[in-house]
Structure 1
Amino acid sequence: MTNIFPGLPLIESPLFPALKAEWGLSAEEERIATDLHEKGYAVFDFPDADLDGRIDRIQSHLGPRYGIDFADPQSDKTTRERRVQDAWQFDEDVRAIAANQAVLDLLSKLYGRRAFPFQTLNFPVGTQQDAHSDSVHFSSLPERFMCGVWLAMEDIGPDAGPLFYYPGSHKWPIMTNALIGRRGYGSDLASAQDPYAPAWQALREVHGAQEERFLPKKGQALIWCANLLHGGSRQNDPTLTRWSQVTHYYFDDCIYYTPAFSDEAIGKLALRNLVSIGDGEARPNRYMGEEVKQPAIIPNSPRRPAWQRKLLKRFRQLR
């Protein structure tokens, strides 16, 4: 069957049952594709023969950056820094996990466009973050061409604040400012996801959604769709660690932007200027093959959201 909906990832297409038979999927690839289509997430074993070594080196290299006393098994691990963003810029093992070719090939096959990694987050403990969809933080046009891969760097039990998610929630409406009646472009938020929390709560109640937790073994990974509602459980035992790495991926020939600070209907988009972690090359915003230029950035302001100040700084560095 011809894919008449190229503006949707293959695994989220309404034609998925017919299309998957023509992809030449292995049994394992078909299982992953079906789980993503039906549940919005899929679990797999991370394909890296040197993964244990990479994890040891990452923990040793990044450990001091968190300000946590890892040597004392009774110390509270939750009171200091919880994450390091974009450690791929200075840590080769973080970069290698993010740019794993087998994972890139799998995602590209399942989504129908070439995948590239653009952000990493490394955690020594759980986030204890409220339920949210990544689609308000980073989205694409066409929609849904974004996903995350969460890698367990140790065995994780129920008291360590495991990842949780709501199976099937990726099929719910994608939250936009227009949908909840707010203007986003130029706004300032302490948390980009706060305005959407009541809407997500209402959807959970109406659908009777049941939370599931991910209790992985070291080396297991989870792919989640752009709109899957997920978060971090409460950490019952503050002495435990929960080492993990998250890599976020976009796909070629899309517009990449931050919906929380955008108004799509009037063309006000907080565009992202991205570099692929894999090859270090820029990935320009494109719409059906045509490059979309970043609009002029007005002077900086202390009241500007942090993402705008960071973007302005980067823009000046590139000039």
Structure 2
Amino acid sequence: MDIQRSGAAILANPDSKMASLRQMNMPWFQTPFFKTLLEEADLAEDDKKLVATYAQDGYLIIDAKIPELDSFCERLIAALAPLYRGHGRIQDAWKENTDAKALALLPEIDRVLRLLYQRDPIPFQTLNFAEGTEQHTHSDTVHFHSVPHGFMCGVWIALQDIDATCGPLHVYPGSHRMPAWDFHDLGLPSGRESYQHYEDCMQAYVEAAGLKKHIVTMKKGQAVIWSATLLHGGEHIEERSKSRHSQVTHYYFSDCLYYTPMFSDPYIGKMQMRTITDIRSGKIVPNMYAGKPISLFSDIPTPASIAPAATAVAEVLRRLLDRAKRWTR
């Protein structure tokens, strides 16, 4: 699907009801004009239904269209088995395993993400699991965020059939429309030590808002795509002998700043920016703001630039020390 056939192209069409508006700096399914934009989009009806479902629920389940599915999954599971070494996950297996990389680059996933976000999707991290995580409810925006907001998502692919007993994912449909709360909003200091309190806050929010949990059971080769602010987690593992082989790929989108909210305090100018690698090319992706690249180190003085100031400070300190010596005589 050509990104320019909807979104910006609709706003540029003088016959569009939205022609007088600028394209908003957010995913189109989050704008107040989404219904009209979708009606006018030059898309197949099935694709319109996909986007409408994502806008409503914050997630989708699709066929990932993995070639030679059974042999592919068996090969990847066997190759990664020795690498877990008692840990529950393997991060960035794509760097060593071509099948893990292939999952992150599946054409059908790329197509659907372009459809949903109207920008170039950038796969930047993979996580592989042999069993359920039982992870508490959270949204990915505590770990990964962007400016403009919302241009991040996760794609979880089942490498085996996933039933209710092996610790499947759970999601809270519609929770992606909640605010993208950071630690400051919840009265917490930034840092890893606040994460448990964050999880407690999310559970309290779910109960207070009356959100309904949905257990995501899946067939091998299916993928669930969720938006950055969707609340999700891992269910209790009822049968400990069961595996839950899967791969998550996290995606950012082009022309954004990328940062980690857990370690940031943006209101006082402290942001832990991310240096992300595009899995497709292996190259670093520039952070962008208002269409311009932003250097993460542009504001850090070089030794040459601070030398005059350092010399001046040293001279002031020397004079103060001399004066203090005279006062004590």
TM-score, structure 1 normalization = 0.84
Query: Aligned to 2:229, which of 223, 227, 230?
Result: 227
Question: Partner residue of 2:55?
Answer: 37
Partner Cα separation in structure 2 for residue 57 and residue 50 of structure 1: 11
Partner Cα separation in structure 1 for residue 93 and residue 47 of structure 2: 29
Question: Partner residue of 1:142?
Answer: 148
The alpha carbon displacement at 1:183 in A equals 3.6
Question: Partner residue of 1:91?
Answer: 97
Asked whether the equivalents of residues 148 and 247 of structure 1 are also in contact (C-alpha less than 8 Å), the reply is: yes
Question: Partner residue of 1:53?
Answer: 71
Asked whether the equivalents of residues 183 and 262 of structure 1 are also in contact (C-alpha less than 8 Å), the reply is: no
Partner Cα separation in structure 1 for residue 199 and residue 120 of structure 2: 32
Q: Output the amino acid matched with 2:77.
A: Q
Choose 1 or 2 for highest CA Rg: 2
Partner Cα separation in structure 2 for residue 58 and residue 22 of structure 1: 42
The alpha carbon displacement at 1:121 in A equals 0.5
Q: Which SS does the other structure have where 1:120 is aligned?
A: strand
Q: Deviations over 1:288-318 (max 9, x none)?
A: 2111221478xxxxxxxxxxxxxxxxxxxxx
The alpha carbon displacement at 1:194 in A equals 2.4
Query: Aligned to 1:106, which of 109, 112, 135?
Result: 112
Partner Cα separation in structure 2 for residue 17 and residue 281 of structure 1: 37
Partner Cα separation in structure 2 for residue 149 and residue 4 of structure 1: 30
Asked whether the equivalents of residues 58 and 94 of structure 1 are also in contact (C-alpha less than 8 Å), the reply is: yes
Asked whether the equivalents of residues 26 and 148 of structure 2 are also in contact (C-alpha less than 8 Å), the reply is: yes
Unaligned runs of at least 5 residues, structure 2: 1-9, 12-20, 301-329
Q: Which deviates further from its counterpart, 86-95 or 260-269?
A: 260-269
Partner Cα separation in structure 1 for residue 107 and residue 282 of structure 2: 15
The reply on whether 1:294 has 2:300 as its aligned counterpart is no
Question: Partner residue of 1:75?
Answer: none
The alpha carbon displacement at 1:10 in A equals 1.5
The reply on whether 1:272 has 2:268 as its aligned counterpart is no
Q: Which SS does the other structure have where 1:37 is aligned?
A: helix
Q: Deviations over 1:183-215 (max 9, x none)?
A: 42xx4x25x732322331232122111111011
TM-score, structure 2 normalization = 0.81
Question: Partner residue of 1:199?
Answer: 201
Partner Cα separation in structure 2 for residue 27 and residue 81 of structure 1: 44
Partner Cα separation in structure 2 for residue 280 and residue 29 of structure 1: 30
Asked whether the equivalents of residues 8 and 145 of structure 1 are also in contact (C-alpha less than 8 Å), the reply is: yes
Q: Output the amino acid matched with 1:139.
A: H
Q: Output the amino acid matched with 1:35.
A: T
Could you say which structure has the higher helix fraction? 2
Partner Cα separation in structure 1 for residue 247 and residue 44 of structure 2: 27
Root-mean-square deviation (CA, aligned residues, Å) is 1.8
Asked whether the equivalents of residues 64 and 108 of structure 2 are also in contact (C-alpha less than 8 Å), the reply is: no
Q: Deviations over 1:99-153 (max 9, x none)?
A: 1133213212211211110000111101100000000000001111000111111
The reply on whether 1:263 has 2:269 as its aligned counterpart is no
Question: Partner residue of 2:246?
Answer: 244
Asked whether the equivalents of residues 152 and 216 of structure 1 are also in contact (C-alpha less than 8 Å), the reply is: yes
Q: Output the amino acid matched with 2:36.
A: A
The alpha carbon displacement at 1:5 in A equals 4.3
Q: Which SS does the other structure have where 1:179 is aligned?
A: coil
Asked whether the equivalents of residues 257 and 272 of structure 1 are also in contact (C-alpha less than 8 Å), the reply is: yes
Question: Partner residue of 1:15?
Answer: 33
Asked whether the equivalents of residues 284 and 291 of structure 1 are also in contact (C-alpha less than 8 Å), the reply is: yes
Taking structure 1 as reference, are residues 5 and 196 closer, same or farther at Cα in structure 2, changes over 3 Å only? Answer: farther
